[in-house]
Amino acid sequence: MDYAKNILETIGNTPLVKLNKLTEELPCLVLSKYETFNPGNSVKDRMALKMIEDAEADGRLKPGGTIIEGTSGNTGMGLALAAIVKGYKCIFVISDKQSKEKMDILRAVGAEVVVCPTDVEPTDPRSYYSVSKRLGEETPNSWYVNQYDNPSNAKAHYESTGPEIWKQTDGKITHFVVGVGTGGTISGVGKYLKEQNPNIKVWGIDTYGSVFKKYHETGVFDENEIYPYVTEGIGEDILPENVDFSIIDGFTKVTDKDAAVYTQLLAKEEGMFLGNSAGAAIKGVLQLKEHFTKDDVVVVLFHDHGSRYVGKMFNNDWMREMGYID
């Protein structure tokens, strides 16, 4: 018989799927690393399990402990699945701009969810960074994960996602394009790929309202770049330790409207029912057109599933209210 001993054993080994219609104008092959095949429907299952395993190994997470994290949903899902299998409790702190579906899903897998305002400074005691940190200090036998600065996050992608992409493309990948939030995916995958072939170009997708692109280009952390935005999962108003700017060749910014419209187009044109950051990522690939030539093999990573966005990017009333469609 061929079966997984528990749901965690099904994490990883996701398919690589060719884009067809949306990328017709590009000269090269565009392949998507299709991470919704993970059991929690996102790439974050990989790093969630790795962060837990590393914390267990060095005693930061003890039997029966409580896992505390500030998460926009996907990391929480991965942590919750691992917590169920391994016998931990979870408290997740989430910002109020995240879709209601994400909060309901986290509750469905047994987590306690604390909702915080988005439009406050990261240092404000009400911010989701501050609240998760405080809960970590106050809750007995707890472990504060901190996916932003936890090195096991990028390491998970260095050990699994990167090698999978290298193997699946038979070493022919020339460009890796991916949305950047905590930076774990881009830094781990990018480091692995550049170690195999230093000529591979690594591009980050950023949002308007985030600091990454300007910081990468100028070394200046410009607070004027920071304002609220709609796109979920990518962009930051902080510099997480998991973003290794030295392995990133460049960033391109995608508007909230384009990210939302292209999330719909992926479903309608490619049959790919994916999350909002996938729309941003594919639009970013199109924006980078001038960097690609005929023989290039571009891999774009799609982080999460469309079911988490049915009240937003897949709801035409919401799309109209936002002015994204007529």
Which residues make up the interface to ligand PLP (CB under 6 A)? 44, 72, 74, 179-186, 232-234, 275, 277, 303-304
| CA–CA separation, 120 and 129 (whole Å) | 10
CB closer to ligand PLP, 95 vs 185:
185
Contact criterion met (CB below 8 Å) for 56 and 324? no
Q: Are 8 and 82 in contact (CB under 8 A)?
A: yes
Among residues 74 and 130, whose Cβ is nearest to ligand PLP?
74
Residue 65 or 275 having the CB closest to ligand PLP: 275
Nearer to ligand PLP, 233 or 284 (CB): 233
Q: How many CB atoms lie within 10 A of CB 273?
A: 17
- Determine the residue with CB nearest ligand PLP: 233
Q: Beta strand 16-18 with 29-34: parallel, antiparallel or unpaired?
A: antiparallel
Residue 182 Cβ vs ligand PLP, minimum distance, rounded to whole Å: 3
Q: Do the bridges between strand 250-254 and strand 297-302 make them parallel or antiparallel, or are there none, so unpaired?
A: unpaired
Q: Cβ 147 to ligand PLP, closest distance in Å?
A: 7
Q: Provide the phi-psi class of 103: left if phi over 0, else alpha when psi is between -120 and 50, else beta.
A: alpha
C-alpha to C-alpha distance for 93 and 79, rounded to whole angstroms? 13
Residue entry with tokens 């991916």: 178
Interatomic CA distance for residues 185 and 191, integer angstroms: 10
- DSSP states along 279-322: HHHHHHHHHTGGG--TT-EEEEEE-BBGGGGTTTTT-HHHHHHT
Residue pair 302/38 in contact (Cβ under 8 Å)? The answer is no
Do residues 155 and 78 lie in contact, with contact meaning Cβ atoms separated by under 8 Å? no
Structure-block tokens of residue 252: 């391109």
**Shortest distance in whole angstroms from residue 16 CB to ligand PLP:** 18
* φ, ψ at 4 (rounded to 5°): -85, 140
232 or 237: CB nearest ligand PLP: 232
Q: How far is the CB of 1 from ligand PLP (least distance, A)?
A: 34
Concerning whether 194 is annotated as a catalytic residue, the answer is no
Task: Identify which of residues 66 and 95 has a Cβ nearer to ligand PLP in the complex.
Answer: 95
Which of 44, 102, 155, 283 is labelled catalytic? 44
Q: How far is the CB of 184 from ligand PLP (least distance, A)?
A: 4
Question: In the bound complex, what is the minimum distance in angstroms from residue 180's beta carbon to ligand PLP?
Answer: 5
CA distances for 62 relative to 6, 46, 54, 187, angstroms: 21, 20, 12, 28
- Catalytic machinery residues: 44
